[in-house]
Amino acid sequence: PPRRSPSRRRSPSRRRSPSRRRSPSRRRSPPREPRRASRSREPRRSRSPREKPAKKKEEERPKSIETLRRERKEREKANTPEAKLAAFKAKIAEDAAAFLAEAEAKQKEAAAAEEAKKKEALLAELRAAVADVRRLAAEENQGGELMKPAKVRVAMATKAAVAAGIPQEELVAASAAGAPQTEPASAAPAAQEEGKEEEGKQASRREKPAKPPKVRTKVHSLARQAAIDAATAAKGAGKSAPEIAKAAAAAAKAAGGDASDISKAAMLAVKISAGEALPPEEDGQDDEESSSSSSSDSSSSAEDEAPIEEKDRAKAKREGIAAAFYFGLK
For the chain, the three-class secondary structure string (H helix, E strand, C coil) is CCCCCCCCCCCCCCCCCCCCCCCCCCCCCCCCCCCCCCCCCCCCCCCCCCCCCCCCCCCCCCCCHHHHHHHHHHHHHHCCHHHHHHHHHHHHHHHHHHHHHHHHHHHHHHHHHHHHHHHHHHHHHHHHHHHHHHHHHCCCCCCHHHHHHHHHHHHHHHHHHHHCCCCHHHHHHHHHCCCCCCCCCCHHHHHHHHHHHHHHHHHHHHHCCCCCCCCCCCHHHHHHHHHHHHHHHHHHCCCCHHHHHHHHHHHHHHCCCCHHHHHHHHHHHHHHHHCCCCCCCCCCHHHHHHHHHHCCCCHHHHHHCCCCCHHHHHHHHHHHHHHHHHHHHC
The confidence band for 86, taking pLDDT boundaries of 50, 70 and 90, is confident
Residue 10 lies in a domain: no
Domain count, the chain: 2
Residue 325 lies in a domain: yes
89 and 143 together in one domain: yes
Lowest mean pLDDT: which of 76-80, 103-107, 188-192, 235-239?
188-192
224 and 330 together in one domain: yes
**Cα–Cα distance between 183 and 187 in angstroms, integer?**
13
Percent of the chain at pLDDT above 70? 55
The confidence band for 76, taking pLDDT boundaries of 50, 70 and 90, is confident
The confidence band for 105, taking pLDDT boundaries of 50, 70 and 90, is very high
Higher pLDDT, residue 300 or 136: 136
Residue 167 lies in a domain: yes
Helix 259-274 × helix 310-329 angle, to 10°: 10
How big is the CA angle at 241 (ends 282 and 230), to the nearest 5 degrees?
A: 55
Residue 11 lies in a domain: no
CB contact set of 143 (below 8 Å; sequence gap of 6+): 133, 136, 137, 150
**Cα–Cα distance between 98 and 106 in angstroms, integer?**
12
Over residues 74-80, mean pLDDT = 84
Digit-coded pLDDT (tens) for 138-166: 887 877 788 888 888 888 988 898 888 88
96 and 168 together in one domain: yes
238 and 153 together in one domain: no
Lowest mean pLDDT: which of 139-153, 164-178, 287-301?
287-301
**Cα–Cα distance between 236 and 229 in angstroms, integer?**
11
108 and 219 together in one domain: no
Over residues 198-216, mean pLDDT = 59
Final residue of a structural domain among 176, 191, 224? 176
Final residue of a structural domain among 176, 206, 235? 176
137 and 231 together in one domain: no
Quote the pLDDT of residue 101.
92
Percent of the chain at pLDDT above 90? 8
**Cα–Cα distance between 78 and 80 in angstroms, integer?**
6
243 and 323 together in one domain: yes
- The answer, yes or no, to whether residue 324 has pLDDT greater than 70, is no
328 and 241 together in one domain: yes
91 and 163 together in one domain: yes
User: How far, in whole angstroms, is CA 313 from its chain's centroid?
Assistant: 45
- The answer, yes or no, to whether residue 202 has pLDDT greater than 60, is yes
241 and 327 together in one domain: yes
Residue 79 lies in a domain: no
Higher pLDDT, residue 9 or 232: 232
The residue segments making up the domain with residue 248 are: 215-278+311-330
Closest of 227, 212, 224 to residue 307, by C-alpha: 212
Quote the pLDDT of residue 55.
58
Higher pLDDT, residue 329 or 87: 87
**Cα–Cα distance between 305 and 291 in angstroms, integer?**
8
Residue 264 lies in a domain: yes
Over residues 166-177, mean pLDDT = 84
In order of 10, 73, 113, 148, 203, the CA distances from 304 in angstroms are: 163, 124, 75, 47, 21
- The answer, yes or no, to whether residue 18 has pLDDT greater than 90, is no
Quote the pLDDT of residue 100.
93
